[in-house]
Structure 1
């Protein structure tokens, strides 16, 4: 949000914005524009120089090296998406040792231990103007790291914390600050020219705050060789840092497919039957329900005027005996019997085939299979035109004190159990166990703050907050 010139300065000085921080920010913005435009112009010149110097084989080698010689991301679309982080890396970070050069099966014009930017300075020094030279020297070799965004000033920049080295930064930026969110994780290189810090390279996407746990694990593995990490140490571990980035990027772009509780691919299928009578179907299939007795199911059934069974729903369920299963039973589908028709709703192709075989064996010619309809999976954010507004309905329900109390108790119970629940993202530890170590405590803090950020976008903020506060208090965070 733009600050009025006559508004109180957000720094808290008590002066008007125009008399306090505005002149400094305007000066900073002018410097940023000048430096940013120069760096962008230099990047174009360096890229042309790189293509002429490295030729096709050399450029392919640079790209393969950035991608760690993997096939998963080695495609034209991904390479184009990663260009804003990969191109600066190739120009201002990548170099080859003499043994590397000797192993190549082609000649390369890049001297050992020299970046493209450094070679450009050597060969074009007489053609580089003073500002370009100053920017090149100030930027130097890019240092990449993972940063947690701690504050965002849309259109102006953002504040961030280097998760690996612990340093704080105030980045001037006009584009990324429009889409970055507080609490997100950004893989980037931050350069400083004079008093301006700016993004010299950045991932095209940010990562969610819970993924900070992976960066903390990386830091722990690197710190194992040192007492602590500093910015000066990061180039030594550039390979490991980039490896984690590429793993996270691949995970973000290839989310796991949806599956049911059996691990089968999710597919919403409805089998349609013509049946001899509701009673025949009920008598043959009622034992498929392990959660309710026949008498309980019939309490909610529909009957004809003469008292005959007209319609009933049978939950197809399975009793779970495995200790690792938190629920006592699993609902596999719903069998809806109505007059001479019967439908079975399941959520996978495998379950559809299983129940079709069961019905054939149990009912024989008393059930005639007609067809199976498959419902397309809807995007979570998509809503059919005839659906009721879910948020409006939810808000209406939350006006009921009884519903609100129930939701509040539900969240309190959830967070009360959460502190002692083993979590995969904590390597199987519970939050209470993880919070006993500094790195584990930092992970748990990231998870809780992520929940807070999510709850702030939820209509249940106050209801959820009590549960989250309970977990924080119990863990001492």
Structure 2
């Protein structure tokens, strides 16, 4: 996500830093100090990934080279070298040439540390509310034009909030932090400040000022791998197994009828008849995956349990569909025990998630089909999401340690995990390309879990 803060001190008034930059460039000692500070922000990642400045720019593209340089520049403006500070020196020598607004802006950059903020109450093109996650300050409403058009509720951003005479605005260097970048940032801050994991993350202005390069490094160490090696989504089932679809076709032995096989299937525990030729392989709900799970869970949930697969009689064969290697082996053993020699050994077709998606592809509208009105399509989508998330509240969620949201919310630590999970769901939905999904209201889930007071 590309996010650029409006470089304004008063809305509609652009800051001019050209004279300040010229002043820095004319004095070797200050020019070298600026270069050193920018290097502190960039070099750890450049060295780790064996990149130079040009390669970094090519990988990330616009506007990131300028934003990253701005992170170092804003840090440099707050640095003190003995009793000297570049802003103090510049305002003393050349401040008479600057407007009052520019003098205020430079002084605010000098005195304001970067911090990590959580976004809420976004009014695109106008303002948003930011909650300081490190400094402990009260939430503030910030006037902002460009960034509010791309930021969504519960996003996390690293930026400086500059307090003016009658309003708050953002500095020009803004980095949007992903979930893993936040985790890396916290680890980096604990290491730099020698904090223990159980220590509250409440930092002073001096601590934040001294750790500014850690913010840029945490962002780069997560952004660069994504740019160099774009991540592929991973999928698992409720057993924690990687998703691999298996279609097992069991041919009937000579003289065997569908009625014979149906009688065998009806005798298998957890095979739930759904009609004369169709069964669902269903097991009671699980409180957690059997092994550590990762990725997106694809299993279907029903009121009575988790769906492990489906079985259907077709002609002279039984077709069984499951979504993992382990389940394929288990269902083959079940069928061998239940049907014996009535069924021959299965012929198995294996497909990945990507192959399934490619086979299905987007459904093309047929000529003459009536187009579904947008309001009806939106209602259908929201009804589906309601059903899906109601099932999810009672289903094991990997991000909650395999507990369901209703189970996790009963403990204090679990409640915090559920809060972060809800924020992540809502944040991802808001960023979705499909407007109907992006507009979905998660408020009922917060209320259902008793967390509505935490939804600012």
Q: TM-score, normalised by structure 1?
A: 0.55
Partner of 2:297: none
Q: Tell me if the contact between 1:332 and 1:346 (Cα under 8 Å) persists in the aligned partners.
A: yes
- Three-state SS of the structure 2 residue aligned to 1:384 is coil
Give the corresponding residue for 1:130. Answer: 98
RMSD, aligned α-carbons = 6.7
Partner of 1:340: 316
Cα offsets for 1:349-377 (capped at 9, x unmatched): 56557767987996699357375565635
279, 295, 305: which one pairs with 2:257? 279
- Listed one character per residue, the Cα deviations across residues 145-169 of structure 1 (whole Å, up to 9, x for unaligned) are 1112233332233332222221444
Please give the per-residue CA displacement for 1:414-448, whole angstroms capped at 9, x wherever unaligned.
59x99xx994599x99434328xxxx987776666
Structure 1 residue 215, shift from structure 2 partner: 6.8
Instruction: After superposition, give the CA deviation of every residue in 1:228-249 in whole Å (9 maximum; x if it has no partner).
Output: 6443442234466556656776
Correspondence 1:197 to 2:176: no
The DSSP-based 3-state class of the residue aligned with 2:236 is coil
* Cα offsets for 1:102-144 (capped at 9, x unmatched): xxxxxxxxx98899x949x88xx88996359735454237722
The 1:363/1:334 distance shift into structure 2, 3 A limit, reads: farther
1:155 and 2:86 aligned: no
Q: Could you list the per-position Cα deviations for residues 386-434 of structure 1 after superposition, in whole angstroms to 9, with x for gaps in the alignment?
A: 69979948947999xxx9xx979x959959x99xx994599x9943432
1:87 corresponds to 2:69: yes
In the alignment, the residues of structure 2 paired with residue 141 and residue 128 of structure 1 have an alpha-carbon distance, to the nearest angstrom, of 20
After superposition, where does 1:458-473 map in structure 2 within 5 Å?
465=444, 468=447, 471-472=450-451
For residues 29-428 of structure 1, the aligned pairs below 5 Å read 31-36=10-15, 38-39=16-17, 62-65=41-44, 67=45, 70-71=48-49, 76=56, 79-80=60-61, 82-83=64-65, 85-93=67-75, 118=86, 130=98, 134=103, 135-140=105-110, 143-165=113-135, 166-191=137-162, 197-203=169-175, 205=176, 207=178, 229-238=203-212, 254=231, 257-272=234-249, 275-276=252-253, 279=257, 282=261, 286=265, 289-292=268-271, 297=273, 300-301=275-276, 312-316=277-281, 331-348=307-324, 351=327, 366=344, 369=347, 371-372=349-350, 376=355, 378=357, 384-385=363-364, 392=376, 395=379, 414=393, 423-424=400-401
CA change 1:359–1:450 in 2 (3 A) is closer
CA separation of 1:41 and 1:413: change in aligned 2, threshold 3 A: same
Contact residue 311 and residue 319 of structure 2 kept, 8 A: yes
Q: Following the alignment from structure 1 to structure 2, what is the Cα–Cα distance between the partners of residues 270 and 171?
A: 55
Kindly indicate whether the alpha-carbon contact (under 8 Å) linking 2:288 and 2:402 is maintained by their aligned counterparts in 1: no
SS in 2 for 1:93: helix
Structure 2 residue runs without a partner (length 5+):
1-6, 292-300, 431-435
CA offset digits 1:14-50 (Å, max 9, x no partner): xxxxxxxxxxxxxx989444334x2599789989999
Residue aligned with 2:450, SS:
helix
Instruction: Structure 1: give runs of 5+ residues left out of the alignment.
Output: 1-27, 98-110, 302-311
CA distance in 1 between counterparts of 2:235 and 2:408 reads: 25
TM-aligned CA distance change 1:314 to 1:43, over 3 Å: farther
**CA contact 2:309–2:322 (8 Å) conserved in 1:** yes
**Residue deviations 1:300-346, cap 9 Å, x none?**
22xxxxxxxxxx23445678999976999764322322112443322
More displaced stretch, 357-366 vs 187-196? 357-366
Work out whether residues 164 and 216 of structure 1, in 8 Å CA contact, stay in contact via their aligned partners in 2. no
Partner secondary structure for residue 140 of structure 1: helix
Shift of 1:88: 1.6
Q: Residues 73 and 79 of structure 1 are in contact (CA less than 8 Å); yes or no, is this contact kept in structure 2?
A: no
CA distance in 1, matches of 2:49, 2:164: 37
Post-superposition offset of 1:83: 3.6
- Larger RCO (alpha carbons 8 Å, 6+ apart): 2
Larger Rg: 1
Deviation at 1:286, TM superposition (A): 3.4
Alpha-carbon separation, structure 1, partners of 2:19 and 2:243: 49
How many residues are aligned here?
397
- What is the TM-score when the length of structure 2 is the normalising length? 0.57
Deviation string, structure 1 residues 190-215 (Cα, Å, up to 9, x no partner): 34577662232111x4558xx89x97
